[in-house]
Amino acid sequence: MKSGLIVFLIILNMSVYAAEGMWTPAQLPELSEVLEAKGLQIDPVSMSDLTGYPMKAIVSLGDCTASLVSPQGLVITNHHCAYGSISYNSTDERNLLRDGFAAGSFADELPAVPGSRVLVTVAVQDVSNTILGGLPAGMSGRARYQAIEESEKELVRECEKDKGHLCRVASYNGGIQFELIKQLEIRDVRLVFAPPASIGNYGGDIDNWMWPRHTGDFSFYRAYVGPNGLPADPGPENVPFQPQHWLRVQPKGVQDGDFVMVAGYPGRTNRYRLSSEVANVINWRYPEYKIALEGWLAAIMTAIDGKPDAALKYASLISNINNETKNYGGMLEGFAKGNLVKRKQELERELQTWIADHPENQDSDLSAIEALQVLIDESQSRQQRKLYYQLAYRSALLRAARTLYRLAREQEKPDEAREPGYQERDLVRIREQMTRIEGTFDAEVDQQVWRHLVLAYAAIPEDQHVDAFDQWFGINGNSIDTEALDTQLEKMYAGSSLADTQARLDWIGKSSTEFETSDDPFIRMAVALFDGDMKIEEWDKDLSGRYLEARPRFMRSLLTFQQARGRVVYPDANSTLRVSYGVVTGSQPRDGIVYLPFTTLEGIVEKNTGTEPFDTPAGLLRAIGEKQYGAYIDEQLGSVPVNFLSTLDTTGGNSGSPILNGKAELVGLQFDGTYESIISDWDFLQDKTRSIQVDVRYVLWTMEQLGGAEQLLKEMGVGR
Amino acid sequence: MKSGLIVFLIILNMSVYAAEGMWTPAQLPELSEVLEAKGLQIDPVSMSDLTGYPMKAIVSLGDCTASLVSPQGLVITNHHCAYGSISYNSTDERNLLRDGFAAGSFADELPAVPGSRVLVTVAVQDVSNTILGGLPAGMSGRARYQAIEESEKELVRECEKDKGHLCRVASYNGGIQFELIKQLEIRDVRLVFAPPASIGNYGGDIDNWMWPRHTGDFSFYRAYVGPNGLPADPGPENVPFQPQHWLRVQPKGVQDGDFVMVAGYPGRTNRYRLSSEVANVINWRYPEYKIALEGWLAAIMTAIDGKPDAALKYASLISNINNETKNYGGMLEGFAKGNLVKRKQELERELQTWIADHPENQDSDLSAIEALQVLIDESQSRQQRKLYYQLAYRSALLRAARTLYRLAREQEKPDEAREPGYQERDLVRIREQMTRIEGTFDAEVDQQVWRHLVLAYAAIPEDQHVDAFDQWFGINGNSIDTEALDTQLEKMYAGSSLADTQARLDWIGKSSTEFETSDDPFIRMAVALFDGDMKIEEWDKDLSGRYLEARPRFMRSLLTFQQARGRVVYPDANSTLRVSYGVVTGSQPRDGIVYLPFTTLEGIVEKNTGTEPFDTPAGLLRAIGEKQYGAYIDEQLGSVPVNFLSTLDTTGGNSGSPILNGKAELVGLQFDGTYESIISDWDFLQDKTRSIQVDVRYVLWTMEQLGGAEQLLKEMGVGR
């Protein structure tokens, strides 16, 4: 009998505090007191200065966030944010996804995938008056939409006259406030360092949204500008961008209970939706989307079966659909536990009462809630069409044909009158889009999957159908002749040249007449659908215009009401720069189980099976086995921390965001949330919502272990 | 912004100590010192007295353990151990599985499923000398097997002359020691109380082997005897059994860190197998069984598709196969992490060295390990046949035919010369078996599934085939004419009367000639296979006989070696009464996550979806919502504990075992282990292995909530 007494004591410090909130930098001074009380050690006002430290170092990659970490334009972000560039540079002989990459010198750095940008926010200007000032009362939704769109286009055009900048107008709180965001648009981006996917994507889809987690989700880019210091097209003469500010890296990391912040570009949240909107999402949207997407996925899986080349092309789409359906499932579970509809109903009752008690806030027959509800009902009356017609467009060739024909139609107008997305400034993007199709398209798969989606569309109620689409395929009510459909699809794919990249590109710049007289079946179909689709677009724009009146009215009531109760309200995420603050801490996700705040190197070995996505490189396994922790050991954990949990309020778009300690030093990177946090786009649960970060100590330890990064470490000021 | 500071402190006390060991009661005095040091408050010697408290109250149900808990023969065990009886008494109108059951009075108690037994161990006698004493050296394996079997049969026959008793011979340490176990066999067992399956099986297959857990896995039987106090067939004149001892129930339960014991009848462990046996299990047996069983399961699922009646009949088999494959998967994961082969190899090296240093323990040319290895190699050379031929017999009709024909052949011999299982004492069981088929058999499903299994058999290497079986189906090498097979199967099922219960029963007692001249295709097949099968059986028995020499020799070396190192060794589980001791505690199953030692009522609500297996009765949900904890609240948890974890060393057969505190009072029931414990039949991992128990406080709270149990609670001495 083995004997002996091992006493293993874990003290789980779950000091949870109000971490909810994605604050605009401008709001931070209002929060000075609480920030300082929680652990901010720099002047809170400095956090609102977009031209200073640290905010000037926080950059956008479009869908992700990143940060500048050296005076030479070195940029750190997630591995999954640099995935496209790593993949773009991978070949059979030199598989960077599999083996990772470390540039030996500046000259060895590789071009990022075409279209990559590093966007540095340089100015944010309130343009609410410009946009809303001249709008007459009582105008139609369509007119309001048009007026706002025109103001926005005009502001963007003016702003972009400053060459090398990308401008856009962002709306806050449903349209109460508008800001013109001006960003330096660095177009020469190069890949500097990436760990193998077996580190950067360790755990893959299986561990996505899961804790415990052991993912080394980091990579490095470098931003390059022309010799004159201004943004330039990629070229050998370009030089590293020299930023005014870059983040200091803190190799000591953080401890359980430490104050942390995240600064980044969260994409979209829906925290102020009405209870009826949430109820619809729970009862219709997510369940229905889940079923529709699972059907789509099944069709793809069947179509690629036995076709490894096609499987590779559809891998990214499959992963996205998987991720989406997992999200829907997780959100439905979150809703089921969170009681959100009931809580919203209570808030709405209180708000309604308050409005009644404060008639000065009541400016029409319908209350702000009732007026909004009218539009919500209208949206929902077309939601089946929205989902299934969108999926019925999911032939890559039909989508290409639609874009190309629309471009031809828009190009008949002066540039400023064109639909956003089809202006001169968008041509590069459209060209890229037409080129990229070849990497994600297989004609047989496209045809087979599209067949499934057309049949799914045919099955929805007739009043949700689109006439021109029905006519094209001879759909009558819910009935469709599948044999005729098969023949028609065969003919369409056989008769179209759009599967060829050059053919697609050749259509750019052609006149609408050339489209209308073409006998390419996909072009013909796009032409046939055009008028009907424009009618739907008009309807959508009119509704959007009316939302742009009703939603701000509701939000104004809510804000005034909350203000009266002494509460500060942050606006929903809208891809603009935000700051959240919180604390490093574990959680009790469910009865009987606890998430510890940190994982360690040993957990990597535990999970390792040798098979993707749990195939740690042998060298790393050896180093862990030999406890080569180096400078990055955490004494309390007795190992190097890998990932950690915090109460930070984050969402998609925050990926790659720097995690900052109380001195605004970089201590980690945001990359995911726990399963209990999937719901957080709708509802922030104080006890359960946790963001997942990669610990900077694991980043540095891994770079040392993999080698080839000595110069980079020195550049960041953490070299030996 | 919501604000406030919640400090949530959990101290996880993981005082883990040497809990490995399923000790025979006779070994407990040797462990006195450690038991008292850990927390045993009664005389350790009393635990080894089978006629005293508490051991006389620990009873066997055959596959499960139970305990007497009142002077009126009340017996507590798991819901899943009483499942057959609950199901047996369920009808569409009165669905006890769904609604639960509470007998209003003794008269309302329901008969347990036929074949139910309560077995009270009354004597254990060492019969090693009787069995091994007269065996001459150098006898063949077959002869040794035969001699031992005859001695065992003789001992059992003598023992069972004391009417109302069931006797068997158990072997320990591979055959070093033999004990004659004599048990009072109570045959009138009645169902007294069962919660609804939505409590007793909450979580179902999904939560099987999982933590956190919230299962109310308990039910009550009552043992009845004839008016003379002796076991009797079920009948209205019987009276409750009045035991000498019954367990005291401790309604205060246990706390984290408390000493606990489990007493019960663990079925089978393999803790002393050679490294080569473990390696074979890892590399061949479990992976291959998993594949074979998954194929079998898939065939069943296809066959029952769209047949709800058949689905019901196969539900239990499906659940068993699911459970088995989950076990294989879990064990393979456990092996992958536990390094068991390497540890065993080291032990074997040490043992080999020690044997070489102590030539007095070396009694032949081959070392004990080498001699055993010869037999292991021989077993493994036939392991594919063993698996796939067994599955190829998986037509219910073929199995019935085999049993019936074998019975006829055995009945030609005097009773004492018959194969165990075919003696007069076995006839009742065979009759029950032939009857029970009707509840688990559907001819179309049987045929379709059997077809799959015959084809799987045909695909294994030819040298693993059985000639007579090949001839029957015209299998030639690996080739089989599937069309001919289909025709043959059609004919067999159409031409057999064995699907009829009365027809099966009518074959009992017929002569072998009647079988041999029958034209029932399944009877004919059984006759055709008989000689070949007997040859395999002879081969098996010879091998077993040789194991009965080699295994004890190895175990004797190991025991002497361990004794020399000051270690006490417990024998592998063999369905005899055993005691394990340990401590209530959580665990850290993986990096970054912690299992808390207790779950609470609130976790039931968290998991509840309203859909089976998470469909808690509304009354219970309400009571939890209203915090009606009553007397059973645990102050530290702030709720009623539901399940708890301990380091107790348990396995199948322990299900239903009482968990005893330091005073040997009942504080819970054993019912499962965590996923990390699936491996524990082979390897006990000090840090990870955890048994799962239902807390007695949840048992009592649930009984109060469900109602109708006032009298029972009083009977157990915990009534209000």
If you write DSSP's letter for every residue of A591-613 in order, what string do you get? Answer: TTEEE-SEEEHHHHHHH--SBTT
A12: chain B residues, CB-CB within 8 Å: 8-10, 12, 594
pLDDT tens per residue across span A418-446:
999 999 989 988 998 999 898 889 999 99
B596: chain A residues, CB-CB within 8 Å: 588, 592-594
B17 touches A at CB < 8 Å: yes
Instruction: Say yes or no to pLDDT of B6 above 80.
Output: no
Q: What is the share, in percent, of chain B residues with pLDDT greater than 90?
A: 84
A267 phi, psi to nearest 5 deg: -75, -55
Coil, strand or helix at A164: coil
B521: left (phi over 0), alpha (psi -120 to 50) or beta: alpha
Chain B: give the shortest CA distance to residue A234, in Å: 44
Contact A3 B18 (CB under 8 A): yes
Chain B: give the shortest CA distance to residue A186, in Å: 37
B346 phi, psi to nearest 5 deg: -65, -45
B4 touches A at CB < 8 Å: yes
pLDDT tens per residue across span B371-420:
999 999 999 999 999 999 999 999 999 999 999 999 999 999 999 999 99
Of chain A residues 495-554, which have a CB less than 8 A from chain B? Answer: none
Q: Angle of helix B340-357 relative to helix B308-338, nearest 10 degrees?
A: 60
Angle (CA) A263-A267-A272 rounded to 5° is: 105
Range name among A9-23, A685-699, B146-160, B423-437 with the lowest pLDDT average: A9-23
Instruction: Say yes or no to pLDDT of A157 above 80.
Output: yes
Contact B15 A6 (CB under 8 A): yes
B37 touches A at CB < 8 Å: no
Residue B238 corresponds to which tokens in the numbers above?
């019987």
Mean pLDDT of B283-305: 95
Q: Angle of helix A368-380 relative to helix A521-564, nearest 10 degrees?
A: 160
Contact B6 A16 (CB under 8 A): yes
pLDDT tens per residue across span B106-160:
999 999 998 899 999 999 999 999 999 989 988 999 999 999 999 999 999 999 9
Q: Which of B80, B214, B452, B465 is catalytic?
A: B80
Pick from A6, A13, A592: CB nearest B603: A592
Q: Count CB atoms within 10 A of the CB of residue B340.
A: 21
- CA-nearest residue to B642 within chain A is A592
Coil, strand or helix at B50: coil
Instruction: Say yes or no to pLDDT of A160 above 80.
Output: yes
Residue B290 corresponds to which tokens in the numbers above?
């998993």
Q: Angle of helix A618-625 relative to helix A696-706, nearest 10 degrees?
A: 110
pTM score: 0.86
pLDDT tens per residue across span A449-508:
999 999 999 999 999 999 999 999 999 999 999 999 999 999 999 999 999 999 999 999
Say what the pLDDT of residue B3 is.
29
B213: chain A residues, CB-CB within 8 Å: 592
Of chain B residues 183-222, which have a CB less than 8 A from chain A? Answer: 211-214
Q: What is the share, in percent, of chain A residues with pLDDT greater than 70?
A: 96
Contact by Cβ (8 Å): A673, A646: no
Known catalytic residue at A245: no
- CA-nearest residue to A333 within chain B is B609
Of chain B residues 647-686, which have a CB less than 8 A from chain A? Answer: 686
Angle (CA) A698-A700-A703 rounded to 5° is: 105
**Residue B719 pLDDT grade (very low, low, confident, very high; cuts 50, 70, 90):** low
Instruction: Please tell me the distance from the alpha carbon of residue B547 to that of residue B532, in angstroms, as a whole number.
Output: 23
Residue A544 corresponds to which tokens in the numbers above?
């959007």
Contact by Cβ (8 Å): A296, A453: yes
Instruction: Say yes or no to pLDDT of A544 above 60.
Output: yes
Mean pLDDT of A177-186: 97
Among B32, B565, B579, B591, most A C-beta atoms within 10 A, so best to mutate, is: B591
Q: Where are the alpha helices (DSSP H) in B266-339?
A: 275-280, 286-304, 308-338
Of chain B residues 456-485, which have a CB less than 8 A from chain A? Answer: none
Q: Which of A60, A79, A80, A634 is catalytic?
A: A80
Placement of tokens 């030093």 in the chain: A665
Pick from A5, A8, A596: CB nearest B593: A596
Pick from B13, B591, B606: CB nearest A602: B591
Say what the pLDDT of residue A70 is.
98
B606: chain A residues, CB-CB within 8 Å: 337, 590-591
Instruction: Say yes or no to pLDDT of B214 above 50.
Output: yes
Pick from A4, A34, A603: CB nearest B592: A603
Instruction: Say yes or no to pLDDT of A8 above 60.
Output: no
B643: chain A residues, CB-CB within 8 Å: 592
Q: Where are the alpha helices (DSSP H) in B133-274?
A: 141-159, 197-200, 204-207
Known catalytic residue at A358: no
B591 touches A at CB < 8 Å: yes
- CA-nearest residue to B594 within chain A is A594
A570: chain B residues, CB-CB within 8 Å: 1
Contact by Cβ (8 Å): B467, B532: yes
Contact A13 B7 (CB under 8 A): yes
Pick from B11, B211, B337: CB nearest A606: B337
Q: Which strands, in side-by-side order, build the sheet including A658-660?
A: A578-583, A259-264, A658-660, A666-673, A691-695, A641-646, A598-600
A336: chain B residues, CB-CB within 8 Å: 609
A595 touches B at CB < 8 Å: yes
Q: Which of A151, A207, A214, A217 is catalytic?
A: A217
Round the average pLDDT of chain A to a whole number and report it.
Answer: 93
Instruction: Say yes or no to pLDDT of A365 above 90.
Output: no
Say what the pLDDT of residue B567 is.
84
- Going through A259-361 in order, the beta strands assigned E by DSSP cover 259-264
A34: chain B residues, CB-CB within 8 Å: 1, 3
B596 touches A at CB < 8 Å: yes
A8: chain B residues, CB-CB within 8 Å: 12, 14-16, 588
pLDDT tens per residue across span A13-57:
444 454 799 999 999 999 999 999 999 999 999 999 999 999 999
B14: chain A residues, CB-CB within 8 Å: 6-10
Higher pLDDT, B312 or A72: A72
Contact A594 B9 (CB under 8 A): no
- CA-nearest residue to B569 within chain A is A1
Pick from A591, A609, A686: CB nearest B602: A591
Say what the pLDDT of residue A387 is.
97
Say what the pLDDT of residue B2 is.
29
Say what the pLDDT of residue B333 is.
85
Contact A336 B591 (CB under 8 A): no
- Which of A363-393 are b and which e, b meaning 16 or more Cβ less than 10 Å from the residue's Cβ? eeeebbbebbbebbeeeeebebbebbbebbb
Known catalytic residue at A67: no
Higher pLDDT, B270 or A359: B270
Q: What is the share, in percent, of chain A residues with pLDDT greater than 90?
A: 84
Contact A8 B567 (CB under 8 A): no
What DSSP line would sit under B94-112, residue for residue?
Answer: S-HHHH-EE-SSGGG-EEP
Instruction: Say yes or no to pLDDT of B692 above 80.
Output: yes
- CA-nearest residue to A338 within chain B is B606
Pick from B13, B20, B592: CB nearest A9: B13
Say what the pLDDT of residue A367 is.
82
Pick from A18, A592, A600: CB nearest B4: A18
A107 touches B at CB < 8 Å: no
Find, among B340, B198, B447, the residue nearest to B685 by Cα. B340
Domain ranges of chain B: 120-185, 275-557
For residue B287, cis peptide bond before it (omega within 30 degrees of 0): no
Round the average pLDDT of chain B to a whole number and report it.
Answer: 93
Instruction: Say yes or no to pLDDT of B1 above 80.
Output: no
Instruction: Say yes or no to pLDDT of B8 above 80.
Output: no
Contact by Cβ (8 Å): B497, B507: no
Higher pLDDT, B556 or B365: B556
Contact B9 A12 (CB under 8 A): yes
pLDDT tens per residue across span B523-582:
999 999 999 999 999 999 999 999 999 999 999 999 999 988 888 899 999 999 999 999
Chain B: give the shortest CA distance to residue A273, in Å: 17
Say what the pLDDT of residue B10 is.
40
Say what the pLDDT of residue B5 is.
30
Pick from B5, B590, B599: CB nearest A212: B590
pLDDT tens per residue across span B462-501:
999 999 999 999 999 999 999 999 999 999 999 999 999 9
Instruction: Say yes or no to pLDDT of B162 above 50.
Output: yes
